[in-house]
Amino acid sequence: MITVLRIGHRMPRDKRITTHVSLVARAFGADNILIDTNDKKIETTINSTCTRFGGDFKIQTGINSKKIIKNWDGTIVHLTMYGQQTDKAIEKIDRKKNLLIIVGAEKVPPWIYEQADFNISIGNQPHSEVAALAIFLDRYTKGSWLEKKYDGKIQIQPCDKGKKVISKK
């Protein structure tokens, strides 16, 4: 199981970025996302996406991040530009254990760096947490997210030009 933990979500400043973190988590193979700030609107948005496009991705907001991290049964990865090089660190992660991926919004408190089993960087330059999560999940899943099948009301068919959308009613 892959869970993304979004900490430091500031409404309304981070609503679009946190929505995009959630959408990337869903599309790139995570099973659920936990967000520390209570935000029913983002829950509605992500649940609507799951209803329309399929999948069993779950979202929960208003959680206690310290409690989640303290009680996590598995591996904790913190995505940061100050961490270990991605490709080297990913090989050390035990894939048999549940994975918690911490993605910050604002400055991450020092205790997160201490609690994480791995502090992993996607490059050592300032960049988007959305991009960091996408690259990490792609590398961690070895691209298997591309083959995932969704049974939604809306399905997108790849095509060279234009848009091909299949709607189930």
pLDDT per residue over 65-102, tens digit each? 999 999 999 999 999 988 999 999 999 999 999 999 99
pLDDT mean over 7-12: 76
Whether residue 14 has pLDDT greater than 80: no
User: Domains of the chain (ranges plus CATH)?
Assistant: 2-167 (3.40.1280.10)
Pick the residue with more confidence: 13 or 100? Answer: 100
Q: How far apart are CA 27 and CA 148, in angstroms?
A: 9
Close Cβ partners of 117 (under 8 Å, ≥ 6 residues apart): 75, 76, 77
pLDDT mean over 134-160: 91
Whether residue 151 has pLDDT greater than 90: no
What is this structure's pTM?
Answer: 0.93
Whether residue 11 has pLDDT greater than 70: no
User: Chain-wide mean pLDDT for the chain?
Assistant: 92
- Where do we find the tokens 């691209």? 143
Close Cβ partners of 169 (under 8 Å, ≥ 6 residues apart): 153
Q: How far apart are CA 6 and CA 4, in angstroms?
A: 6
pLDDT category at 35 given cuts 50, 70, 90 is: very high
